Structure 1
Amino acid sequence: MECRRKILVVDDEPHNIMLLEGILTKLGHEVVGAENAVVALEKLDRTYDLVLSDVMMPVMNGFEFVEKIRENTETQDIPVIMVTTLSQKGDRLKAVEIGANDFITKPIDIVELRVRTESMLRQKAQQDEIKSFESDLNELVESRTLELREALSKLDEAHVETIHHLCAAAEYKDEETADHLVRMAEYSRILAEKSGLDVDTVQLIHTSSPMHDIGKIGIPDSILLKPGKLTAEEWEVMKSHAVIGGNILSMGSSEYINMGSVIALSHHEKWDGSGYPSGLSGEDIPLPGRICAVADVFDALTSKRPYKEPFSVEKSLEIMKEGRGIHFDPKLIDLFFENIEQILYIKESCAD
Structure 2
Amino acid sequence: MLTIAIIDDNAVNVALFRALVKQLDGARSVEFLQPQEALTWVLSHDVDLVVVDYQMPEMDGLTFIRHLRAQEDKREVPVLMVTADHEISLRHEALQAGANDFLTKPVDRVEFQARARNMLALRQSQLALLNRAAWLAEEVSKATATVVARELDTILRLSRAAEYRDPETGAHVLRMAHYARLIAVELDLPLEECDLLLRAAPMHDLGKVGTPDHILLKPGRLTPEELAIMRQHARVGHDILADSESPYLQAAAIVALHHHERWDGTGYPIGLAGDAISLWGRIVAVADVFDALTSERPYKAAWAMERAREFLLEQSGSHFDPRCVQAFCNRWADVLRVRARFADDPLPPSASQIMELQ
- 1:227 matched to 2:238? The reply is no
Superposed, 1:63-102 pairs within 5 Å as 66=61, 70=65, 77-82=78-83, 93=89, 97=93, 101=102
- 1:94-144 alpha-carbon deviations (Å, 9 max, x no partner): 576577935458xx9xxxx68xx63x6555433322321121111111111
Q: 1:124 to 1:329 in 2, by over 3 A?
A: same
Secondary structure class of the residue paired with 1:101: strand
Q: 1:133 to 1:321 in 2, by over 3 A?
A: same
Q: 1:196-251: per-residue Cα shift (whole Å, max 9, x none)? A: 11011111000000000000011111111111000000000100000110011113
Q: Secondary structure of 2:269's partner?
A: coil
The structure whose Rg is larger is: 1
- Give the match for residue 244 of structure 2: 252
C-alpha change, 1:130 and 1:323, in structure 2 (3 Å) is same
Structure 2 match to 1:179: 171
Equivalent residues, number: 314
Contact 2:293 2:303 in 1 (8 A): yes
How much identity, in percent, do the aligned residues show? 33
**Within 1, Cα distance between the matches of 2:61 and 2:83?**
9
**Partners of 1:7 and 1:48 within 8 A in 2:** yes
Q: Post-superposition shift, 1:157?
A: 1.6
1:79 partner letter: L
SS at match of 1:332: helix
One-letter code aligned to 1:304: E
Deviations 1:22-75 (A, max 9, x none): xx99xxx68xxxxxx949999x99688867x797xxxx67x966458646689x
Q: In the aligned structure 2, how far is the partner of 1:189 from the partner of 1:180? A: 14
Q: 1:291 aligns with which of 283, 286, 311?
A: 283
2:141 is matched with which residue? Answer: 149
Give yes or no for contact 1:246–1:262 (8 Å, CA) kept in 2: yes
Query: What's 2:350 paired with?
Result: none
- Structure-2 separation of matches of 1:281 and 1:65: 69
Aligned to 2:351: none
Shift of 1:152: 1.2
Q: CA deviation at 1:165?
A: 1.2
**CA distance change for structure 1 residues 177 and 83 in 2, over 3 Å: closer, same or farther?**
same
Q: Residue in 2 aligned with 1:3?
A: none
Q: Which residue of 1 aligns with 2:352?
A: none
d(CA) in 2 for partners of 1:252, 1:136: 39
Range that drifts further, 230-239 or 331-340: 331-340
Structure 1 residue aligned with 2:347: none
Q: Which residue of 2 aligns with 1:349?
A: 341
The match for 1:138 is 130
**Within 1, Cα distance between the matches of 2:283 and 2:329?**
13
Distance 1:247 1:264 in 2: 9
1-structure distance, mates of 2:173, 2:155: 12
Task: State the one-letter code of the partner of 2:135.
Answer: S
Aligned twin of 1:212: 204
Structure 1 contact 270–279 (Cα < 8 Å) conserved: yes
Where does 1:1-352 land on structure 2 (aligned, <5 Å)? Answer: 38=33, 66=61, 70=65, 77-82=78-83, 93=89, 97=93, 101=102, 103=104, 118=111, 122-352=114-344
| Structure 1, unaligned runs of 5 or more | 1-5, 31-36
Q: How far did residue 162 of structure 1 move?
A: 1.4
| Whole-angstrom distance in 1 between the partners of 2:330 and 2:263 | 20
User: Is residue 11–residue 54 contact of structure 1 (8 Å, CA) maintained in 2?
Assistant: no
C-alpha contact (below 8 Å) 1:170/1:214 kept by paired residues: yes
Mapped contact 1:50–1:121 kept (Cα < 8 A): no
CA distance in 1, matches of 2:285, 2:10: 83
Partner Cα separation in structure 1 for residue 186 and residue 5 of structure 2: 63
TM-score normalised by L of structure 2: 0.74
Cα pair distance change 1:216/1:124, threshold 3 Å? same
Whether the 8 Å CA contact 2:200–2:252 is kept in 1: the answer is yes
Instruction: Give the letter aligned to residue 190 of structure 1.
Output: L
Cα root mean square deviation, aligned: 4.0
Do the aligned partners of 1:249 and 1:258 also contact (CA within 8 Å) in 2?
Answer: yes
Q: TM (normalized to structure 1)? A: 0.75
> CA distance change for structure 1 residues 163 and 47 in 2, over 3 Å: closer, same or farther?
closer
Shift of the 335–97 alpha-carbon distance from structure 1 to 2, 3 Å rule, reads same
Instruction: Render the CA deviation track for 1:151-182: whole Å, top value 9, x for unaligned.
Output: 21122122112111111111111111110010
- CA separation of 1:80/1:301 partners in 2, compared to 1, >3 Å: closer, same or farther? closer
Q: Is the 8 A contact 1:49 1:124 kept in 2?
A: no
Contact kept in structure 2, 1:229 and 1:307, CA below 8 Å: no
Looking at structure 2, the residues matched to 7 and 286 of structure 1 have their Cα atoms a distance apart, in angstroms, of 59
Deviation at 1:281, TM superposition (A): 0.2
Deviations 1:266-304 (A, max 9, x none): 000000000000000000000000000000000011112
**155 and 130 in structure 1: CA distance in 2 versus 1, 3 angstrom threshold:** same
